[in-house]
A and B are shown apart, each in its own frame.
Chain A
Amino acid sequence: MILVVPSLIITLMYFMFQDAPHPPGAPSPFNAACLIMLGVFPLIVMFLITSITMQRERVSGTLERILTTPLGRLDLLAAYGTAFSIAAAAQATLACVISFWLLGLDTAGSPGLVFAIAIINAVLGVGLGLLCSAFARTEFQAVQFMPVVIAPQLLLCGIIVPRDVLPDWLQWISNALPASYALEALKEVGAHPDLTATAVRDIAVVIAFAVVALCLAAATLRRRTP
């Protein structure tokens, strides 16, 4: 499921745009949409998987028990982060391969960069998921964190309404959300053959968000609880 679903949805989009009219000479609208999906999927999927798995650990008592063993808290998070990031990498590899080779996705920048940004997004999703699991009492609540945490990011990141035409106060919020930077970086890679300074800054910002989320998540792992 984790592996094939994003690829299938991107393929679905390919056929959606197949007969859509677009000005001759301009890139197909599928290009832009596919690029967005390659960035958004790792974020959403990894957020969901991580928050639910960690929530299960917390509720079932396995987390409390693991924390009575010599295992360090950061080790635990790093292990989780790595395991899920490997899953995310496999997913992104498949989605990128299908998009670039079979569906003819064409970016000015290197496909490797698209792949790298997808992985960074996945790590961000893992960090946010681990953090949010601390605030959910049940798996049901954990799932509901997705619209709370992910939806505003997707609405305000410039996919639907370009960021510069948003009202000022929404631009400010948009500036504070990591997905805005992730999507901007992908657009930069799509439009420029070289790695632009904006893209580098954006990627750095997303990594910083991911690291902060992981550290905050570590702070929610308490060996002693009331």
Chain B
Amino acid sequence: MMTSSPDELIGDGARPAIAVENLTVIRGRRTALDDVTVHIAPGTVTGILGPSGCGKTTLIRSIVGTQIITSGSVTVLGRPAGSADLRHRVGYVTQDPTIYPDLRVIDNVRYFASLYGTGAKAADESVVDVGLDDHRTALCSNLSGGQRTRVSLACALVSHPDLLVLDEPTVGLDPVLRVDLWQQFDRLATRGTTLLISSHVMDEADHCADLLLLREGRLLAHTTPAALREDTGCQSLEEAFLSVIRHSTEPALG
């Protein structure tokens, strides 16, 4: 079995940044997540990968504490997910940029800065951090899709979160911008931020230290890009993922 045990990944036995135990979420009549257990080490970049509708967003919403869960538990930074004191420490970038199009870039970020209580200086810094200093007084409705994503990111960075959760931040972005963003995520991780990033683009998995492969609400594997290649014998991560899916469905067929 290629799934490493959580303890092995955490190594020094430090407390995991996120501990998800037997999480099951039923949305409507569908089981969106089915008995998922995973531990995520602090200070890492972890990718949640899987096809559309596999439960990535549901897992993310469970971790930020906006999802009503059916059973199991989610512990974030040592506290139950969604606890009041986590709201200062967890940044959440939603799938669609959740910013106000009729406000300027800087006003959007300042608004979130005041919600987090971090002030105007933090707002200026995060606008610079996402490379939108030239556009700080532009109206968000006039920005391109990629720029809006970065405004949305700035709104999360402004609180200097310990854990930053991003739901498909690179969807619809051009390759240059994607590289930019991933470099930024790496910088944040080296500063000690734990990042959890979902994507359905397998190429991006190489930027992650850890990978969670999800399919139809089940966790197929918790692995690393290198281990995934080694275990499946595939060079491209796309093929490797497909191979994991084939292996996981075979016993069911037989």
Beta-carbon nearest neighbor of B102 in chain A:
A56
Beta-carbon nearest neighbor of A75 in chain B:
B115
Contacts of A62 in B (CB 8 A): 98-100
Beta-carbon nearest neighbor of A76 in chain B:
B115
Residue in B66, B92, B96, B99 whose beta carbon sits within 8 Å of that of A225 in the complex: B66
Contacts of B169 in A (CB 8 A): none
Q: Do A70 and B99 have beta carbons less than 8 Å apart?
A: no
Q: Do A66 and B115 have beta carbons less than 8 Å apart?
A: yes
Q: Do A226 and B27 have beta carbons less than 8 Å apart?
A: yes
Residue in B27, B67, B100, B115 whose beta carbon sits within 8 Å of that of A69 in the complex: B115
Query: Is B136 part of the contact surface with A, judged by Cβ < 8 Å?
Result: no
Q: Mark A52-78, 1 if CB is under 8 A from B, else 0.
A: 000000001110111111110000000
Q: Given A70-B116, A71-B115, A223-B82, do A64 and B87 touch, yes or no (CB 8 Å)?
A: no
Which A12-70 residues sit within 8 Å CB-CB of chain B?
60-62, 64-70
Contacts of A66 in B (CB 8 A): 115
Chain B CB within 10 A, most for which of A60, A69, A70: A69
Q: Do B94 and A65 have beta carbons less than 8 Å apart?
A: yes
Beta-carbon nearest neighbor of B95 in chain A:
A61
Contacts of A61 in B (CB 8 A): 94, 96, 98
Q: Do A224 and B68 have beta carbons less than 8 Å apart?
A: yes
Q: Mark B228-254, 1 if CB is under 8 A from A, else 0.
A: 000000000000000000000000000
Query: Is B14 part of the contact surface with A, judged by Cβ < 8 Å?
Result: no
Q: Do B115 and A64 have beta carbons less than 8 Å apart?
A: no
Whole-angstrom distance between the Cβ of A63 and the nearest chain B Cβ: 9
Whole-angstrom distance between the Cβ of A223 and the nearest chain B Cβ: 6
Residue in B66, B94, B99, B159 whose beta carbon sits within 8 Å of that of A224 in the complex: B66
Contacts of B115 in A (CB 8 A): 66, 69-71
Which A61-107 residues sit within 8 Å CB-CB of chain B?
61-62, 64-71
Q: Do B87 and A68 have beta carbons less than 8 Å apart?
A: yes
Q: Given A62-B100, A223-B65, A226-B68, do A69 and B116 touch, yes or no (CB 8 Å)?
A: yes
- A-B contacts, 15 of them at CB < 8 A, read A60-B96, A61-B94, A62-B98, A62-B99, A64-B98, A68-B90, A69-B87, A69-B159, A70-B87, A223-B65, A223-B66, A223-B82, A224-B67, A225-B68, A226-B68
Q: Which 4 A-B pairs have the closest CB atoms?
A: A69-B115, A61-B98, A70-B87, A65-B98
Q: 19 new A-B pairs (CB below 8 Å) besides A69-B159, A70-B116? A: A60-B98, A61-B94, A62-B99, A64-B66, A64-B98, A65-B98, A67-B66, A68-B64, A68-B65, A68-B66, A68-B90, A69-B112, A70-B87, A70-B88, A224-B65, A224-B66, A224-B67, A224-B82, A226-B67
